[in-house]
Amino acid sequence: MSDAINLDAYLRRVGWAGPVAADLATLRGLAMVHVATITFANLHPLMGLPVALDLVTLQRKLVDEGRGGYCFEQNLLFEAVLREIGFEVSGLIARVLWRHPEDAETPQTHMLLHVVLDGEGWLVDVGFGGHVLTGALRLQSDIEQATGHEPFRLLQHDAEWRMQSLARGEWRTLYRFDLRPVPMVDYVVANHYVSTHSASRFVSNLLLGRTTADRRLSLLNYEFTERRIGHEPTRQRLRDVAELRELMEREFLLRIPSDADFNRRLEGLPRD
């Protein structure tokens, strides 16, 4: 199998039927359809399975087998797609601050992408779970930018940038980063930590996210949250494994393993 991305297969996977080009419309459009069809998911870390980051494995898992993945998998695949189309793109790494204080010292555990288009910088990120960026952000500080959902903005202090979203009337930071290109080995190390370390929430919780044109969907263990634009979030507490599996397939479009080990892992998830 070639280590080049099968662009046609990817476009079929995300339901993109039109032409593609290295332009802003394609960049924004593919980011939107990607997060609506390829679910953010951490099933491998949850089951104690390795998370491989080579392109052959990513394409087989996320494209051919119709499964989901988390930030390194999602953005590495998207980076390969953009490069195949003709974009100038490089990977960055970030320290997540979502649900943390602004001054928290967090590890570099999140990947995002820097695209240069007609000499201008843009950011895309298809791997931030249920609050993922829908579209692309111009690399410009202190301006509110429209996305497919909430407004986003970037703040800059010296070499550091912060990505924020306007969530329920309050600007909240998703993560902080700089613009230095990141070698693959740094993603490998960060991915190993996220997928195996006992302190990582990815190994002890079920975390799913999918964002459609009008809904943000997230699942934390047995709690399903649906956010519609202009409405208060609705939350549903799932009763058992059967209901959890049905929702994972219906709302998150996942092909769920039928083996007993997976069911036992779901049964043992926190219920609080």
Cβ-Cβ contacts under 8 Å for 243 (sequence gap 6 or more): none
Catalytic residue among 34, 44, 110, 114: 110
Can 178 be counted among the known catalytic residues? no
Can 110 be counted among the known catalytic residues? yes
Query: What is the Cα–Cα distance from 196 to 219, expressed in whole angstroms?
Result: 21
**Hey, is 204 helix, strand or coil?**
coil
Do residues 114 and 89 touch, judged by C-beta distance below 8 A?
A: yes
Classify the phi-psi angles of 248: left when phi > 0, otherwise alpha if psi is within -120 to 50, otherwise beta. alpha
**C-alpha angle 261/126/123, rounded to 5°?**
155
Catalytic residue among 34, 44, 114, 125: 125
Do residues 223 and 235 touch, judged by C-beta distance below 8 A?
A: yes
CA of 98: how far to CAs of 1, 114, 176, in Å?
Answer: 38, 20, 10
Q: How far is CA 245 from the centre of its chain?
A: 21
**Hey, is 115 helix, strand or coil?**
strand
Query: What is the Cα–Cα distance from 35 to 33, expressed in whole angstroms?
Result: 6
Query: What is the Cα–Cα distance from 199 to 130, expressed in whole angstroms?
Result: 21
Can 71 be counted among the known catalytic residues? yes
Residues in the chain: 272
Task: Return the active site residues.
Answer: 71, 110, 125
